[in-house]
Each structure stands twice: as structure tokens, then as C-alpha cells.
Structure 1
Amino acid sequence: MPDLILHHYQNSPFSEKIRLMFGFKKLAWKSVLIPPVMPKPNLTALTGGYRRTPVLQVGADIYCDTALIADVLERVAPSPSLYPAPVTGLARTLAQWADATLFWTVIGYVFQPIAIPHLLGPLTPEQMKAFGADRAAMRGNAPRMTAQEATGNLKVYLRRLDDMLADGKRYLLGAQASIADFSVYHCMWFIQLAQPLAGILDDVPRLKDWVARMAGVGHHQSEMLSAERALEVARDSTAAETRGFPFVDTHGVALGERVSIMPTDYAFDPVEGELVISADNEFAVRREDPKAGRVVVHFPRIGFQMKKI
């Protein structure tokens, strides 16, 4: 099997979610560090425009969004499972809530002036301005939750999560870790990164112990890889077979037609290509790039929209 190549940056919470999954499944991986703000020319060559972090590359297959990346890692290493029975559906639903509602609440809480240097490192005023402009464009200029609202909401969510760990449960849904634990964890990890504000976790001791237990999973074995080498890997590889996915048509678009795919919530950067997968849980398009060659870019169905060109 080709190497698992993660395109990420160190302080990305969603990247931490996947890095910890590598540790959970004991999967060796290659690390390509990308800029936290646009432009990202080498990543764009692979994705065709998708700009959110992280992205998983497996040869010439490019996987976008951590929900789909988790499914890919599950196929590569089914055990231990991210979706243990009988809580599979509940785990996926809780993970979706954490990746959206909980995450944006945490963002509103941690991006206070006292914590920003801990999240972004020392930045010049020009760099800070560039970061703010980049994230505003990424959100489509939608307003962010105020710190006051985020603080109040976050305290409620933390108590609820703490309650889920009552009766000595090791993980949120029982004795086994699941996708829900990794999705909630990356939000807690980001709170801890915002050191001056991390004391909010002191009021939820069971949850704080769980955070330490999750952190102990680690990232397993990684090796640095240059962005240029990752592009060479894509050019020298052939994407995996796409004909094994049952065709699910909800758009009146046939395989082989040109489409654009982009998120439904933020970072509305469309990726255009030839539709090669339209499955119950996944879209994928084939596209060509002078740097990356012919690649297949994959997206989860939930959270993304497809339009015929």
C-alpha cells in the first residue's frame, strides 16, 4: 500500500484529530507541513482548490475532510475500530456535533487576545492581519460567536461531556474509544493550547482526566516529507480503482460528467473535475494538474455539495 501522507500544520486542531488516530491504529505516516493561511500552491495542486486542513494523500488519491479520512484509516486498519458496535450510529452523530457545534464554540472561546499568541505563536502585526483576513474569507465573512456567548455555551457542553464519563467510563460512549472521542478530543486539545484560558477544564475533572488519557495515545511513527516529494508521489502513482463503489444518483449527474464540489458551511472553494464516485457516503472527481499529474480527489457526501458544470 502507498504511504499515508498527511498535509497539515502543527497547531491545526483537526490535524491533531487525525494524528491521534494514527497513534490509535498504530499506523506509520509521512508528514508534510503546509502554511496555515493561503496561498498553499503545492496543496492546491493536489486538491484543485480545497483549502481546509488536513488533507490525506495516498498515492494519487487525495482525501478531504477528517470524517472521510477517518473512514479511509478504518479501511486500512479495521482494528481497533473507530466505530465499535453497538454505538456506531451514536458515535458518528456525536462526532458530527463535535466537529461543527462544539468546534465553533471553542473557536469563539479561545480566540481571545490573551490566548492568541499561544495558538498562533509570535506574529507581526502584518502576519496577524493576514491571518484574520484569511479566516474571514474562509468563513465567508459570517460572524463568529462572541467570547461571552462562547464561554457560556462551552461551560454547558463541558458539563454534559463530563456527565457522559460518569460511573467510571473510560471513553465517552463506554469501554472502547470511538470516532466521537477523537472529534471531541481535538476541541479539548485546542482549549489546552490556549493556555491562559485552559482553566475552564478544571471544573470538569472526569473530562480533564479523559483528555490526558486520550493524549497518551500519541501519534505513533511519522517521518517528514517535503511538499515537492509528495507531488512526485502523486505524479508517479495511479489512483485506486473507483468502479467498486455502488452508484447513488441524487443529482441527476452521470459518472464521467464534469462537476464542482465544495463544502456547505465554510471555505467555499470549488473543486472541479470528472465525477468518478457518487456513493452513499462519498463523492470523488478526477482532475489533472501540471504539478500533481492525474489525481482523484475524494469528499464525504455529508457537509459537501455537488453541482454539474
Structure 2
Amino acid sequence: MSDLILHHYPTSPFAEKIRLIFGFKQLAWHSVIIPMIMPKPDLTALTGGYRRTPVLQIGADIYCDTALICDVLEHIAPQPNTTLYPEAVKGVARIVAQWADSALFTAAMAYNFQPAGVAQVFAGAPAEAVQAFVADRGAMRGGAPRMAAADAAATYKSYLRRLANMLHGQDFLLGAQPCVADFAAYHPLWFTQDRTPALAGILDATPEVLGWMARMKAFGHGTSGKLSATDALHVVSRSTPAPLQADVFQDEHGIPLGTRVVIAADHFGQEPIEGELLAATRTRYTLRRTDERAGTVHVHFPRVGFTLKKAAP
């Protein structure tokens, strides 16, 4: 197995989700810091246009979206005591994680990015940097409005109470050990606590949540070393994508393997990624792409949350 390379930046909530899983599974990894906003030319060379954070690189295989990255890390380190998917709660863990990565994240971040939070996140940054970030995230939303701060606060408080109810009498959301749901629910709350502490008082009404956050934070980030984006591109250009597993082709679109296709997120960050469809399994898509800097790469996406269509002639 090639080294794990995470393309991320320190304040990214979704990157914190994966960094904490590295700690939970006690994995070693390389850290490549990417820009917070577009353009991201080195990342684009790997992904073909996907720009959400983080992205996991293993050799010449590029994994997009944290739901898929979680599955990949589980395959790499499947020990029973650090599984993300305990057998007894496997289905509900994925469902809660999907809710946390969407509904909880949306409410929490709308709350976090009210003026007091913005002032802390961008302390010392020039006004034009803040304006560029706001414009970038507006483009990622595709014109969809952001939840108003007052509505976000009310929704966030309700969600925190629900998490507290889940934690009553147990250390983690679904039992005595953490699962993927815990890591998905933790990262937007981490942003509130660590990145916008002026707003962290919202957590005080749910001491069960605060205790759980302390237990989660204690997992740490594993063992990491710095890597430049240039070195990461050297790794991929010298590597060959791993052989694809012999999973059954599941055709839901009438698009045969080998077709030029376009994949895009179904919301937030809908930049299209074009390539040759190599695999369409029950859970993921794989595209083959060639870039003059990266060479031939396999770019992997989860089915859930992404759309597939034929590329224009």
C-alpha cells in the first residue's frame, strides 16, 4: 500500500473529520496544504476539477468526498476495535453520518459564519481575502441562499439537543465505541469550538455533547509529515493506479464502461469532472484521466451525492 497523502487545509471541517479518523486508526499520513479557495491548480491536476476539501491520494489513485475516504481507510485498517462501521449499527451509522455531513453541517456553519465568527476565522487577513472567500463559497453553493444566522442558531440548538439525547448513558452516539457517525457529527462542532470560540457558548447547554467532544478530540491526528504539492505530483506521476477490484458492474444509466462521462456533485461544489468510466459498482464510480503533470490517474467518487452522465460529443 502506498503512502496516504491528504490534500487539505487546517481550518477545513471535513478535513478535520478525516484527520481525526487517522488518529482513531493510528495511521501515518502525509499532509499537503492546499488553498482555501480557487484556483487550486495542483489539486485540479489530480482531480480534473473536483475542488472540495479534503482529497485523499494513494499513489495514482485519487479519492473524492469524505464518505468514500472513510470507506477506503476502513479497508486499509479494518481492525475490529477501530472499525467505523460496527456490525450492529452499520446501517444507522451511515444514515446518521449522512445527516451530520449535510443538515447538521449546514446549520452549524451558517451559525459559525456570522460576523463574530468571521472576525475570528479571518483575524489579521485583509478585507479582500474575506471577500474572495465569500465569493468562492457563494459560487460553490450555485446561487442557493445561505441559512440566516437566526434560523441557523435555532436549528443548531435543536440538533445539539438531539445529539445530547443520543449520548445519554453512553460514551458515543451509537454505543460504547465510536463509529463513522461520531466523526461526521464532530467536525462542524469542532469548528465552533476551535475556530469560532466567540460563538462556542452555544455548546454549553449540552454538557453531554461537550464531554463527547473531549473524548473525540483525544484521538488526535495520527502521525503526519509535511509534503509539498510538487512532491505529491511527483508521487502520482511515478505511480500506476491500483488494479480495480472485480466488483460487479451496476448500470443505472445505460452508460457502458469505457464511455467518456461527466461526474459532478449533486449540490455544493458542482464542478464537472470528465474522464473515461472504468467502474460503476454498487457504491462508487471510477474515472480514468490523463493530465500532463500528473500522468494517468484513477479518480474515485461515491455514488451517493454524485451524478453521472455522458460527456458532450
Q: TM-score, normalised by structure 2?
A: 0.97
The alignment of Structure 1 onto Structure 2 pairs a total of residues equal to 308
CA distance in 2, matches of 1:120, 1:189: 17
Give the structure 2 partner of residue 4 of structure 1: 4
What's the CA shift string for 1:77-112, capped at 9, x where partnerless? 001100001000000000000000000001110101
| Among candidates 226, 230, 241, match of residue 228 of structure 2 | 226
Q: What amino acid does structure 2 have at the position aligned with 1:221?
A: T
CA distance in 2, matches of 1:268, 1:103: 18
Deviation at 1:56, TM superposition (A): 0.1
Q: Are 1:256 and 1:274, in contact at CA under 8 Å, matched by a contact in 2?
A: yes
Q: Does residue 103 of the first structure (1) align with residue 105 of the second (2)?
A: yes
Deviation at 1:122, TM superposition (A): 2.4
Give the structure 2 partner of residue 191 of structure 1: 192
Deviation at 1:243, TM superposition (A): 4.8
Deviation at 1:118, TM superposition (A): 2.2
| Among candidates 140, 147, 150, match of residue 142 of structure 2 | 140
Give the structure 2 partner of residue 27 of structure 1: 27
Gaps of at least 5 residues in structure 1 are none
Gaps of at least 5 residues in structure 2 are none
Q: Aligned with 1:102: secondary structure? A: helix
Q: Are 1:262 and 1:271, in contact at CA under 8 Å, matched by a contact in 2?
A: yes
What's the CA shift string for 1:95-146, capped at 9, x where partnerless? 0000000000011101011111322342211111111111100111210000
Q: Are 1:11 and 1:120, in contact at CA under 8 Å, matched by a contact in 2?
A: no
Q: Are 1:117 and 1:123, in contact at CA under 8 Å, matched by a contact in 2?
A: no
Q: What amino acid does structure 1 have at the position aligned with 2:40?
A: K
Q: What amino acid does structure 2 have at the position aligned with 1:4?
A: L
CA distance in 2, matches of 1:120, 1:89: 39
CA distance in 1, matches of 2:278, 2:45: 19
Deviation at 1:49, TM superposition (A): 0.2
Alignment of 1:257-272 (within 5 A): 257-272=259-274
Alignment of 1:148-187 (within 5 A): 148-167=150-169, 169-187=170-188
Give the structure 1 partner of residue 206 of structure 2: 204
Give the structure 1 partner of residue 51 of structure 2: 51
Give the structure 1 partner of residue 129 of structure 2: 127
Range with greater deviation from structure 2 (219-228 or 111-120)? 111-120
Q: Does residue 13 of the first structure (1) align with residue 35 of the second (2)?
A: no
- Kindly tell me: are residues 307 and 152 of structure 1, through their superposed partners in 2, closer, same or farther at Cα, counting changes over 3 Å? same
Q: Aligned with 2:204: secondary structure? A: helix
Q: Are 1:48 and 1:272, in contact at CA under 8 Å, matched by a contact in 2?
A: yes
CA distance in 1, matches of 2:134, 2:198: 21
CA distance in 2, matches of 1:34, 1:194: 21
What's the CA shift string for 1:20-79, capped at 9, x where partnerless? 000000110000000000000000000000000000000000000000000000000001
Q: Are 1:165 and 1:206, in contact at CA under 8 Å, matched by a contact in 2?
A: yes
- Kindly tell me: are residues 121 and 45 of structure 1, through their superposed partners in 2, closer, same or farther at Cα, counting changes over 3 Å? farther
| Among candidates 236, 239, 257, match of residue 238 of structure 2 | 236
Equivalent pairs: percent with the same residue?
55
Q: What amino acid does structure 1 have at the position aligned with 2:175?
A: G
CA distance in 1, matches of 2:123, 2:233: 28
Q: Does residue 117 of the first structure (1) align with residue 147 of the second (2)?
A: no
Q: TM-score, normalised by structure 1?
A: 0.98
Q: Aligned with 1:86: secondary structure? A: helix
CA distance in 2, matches of 1:97, 1:45: 31
Q: Aligned with 1:182: secondary structure? A: helix
Q: Aligned with 2:203: secondary structure? A: helix
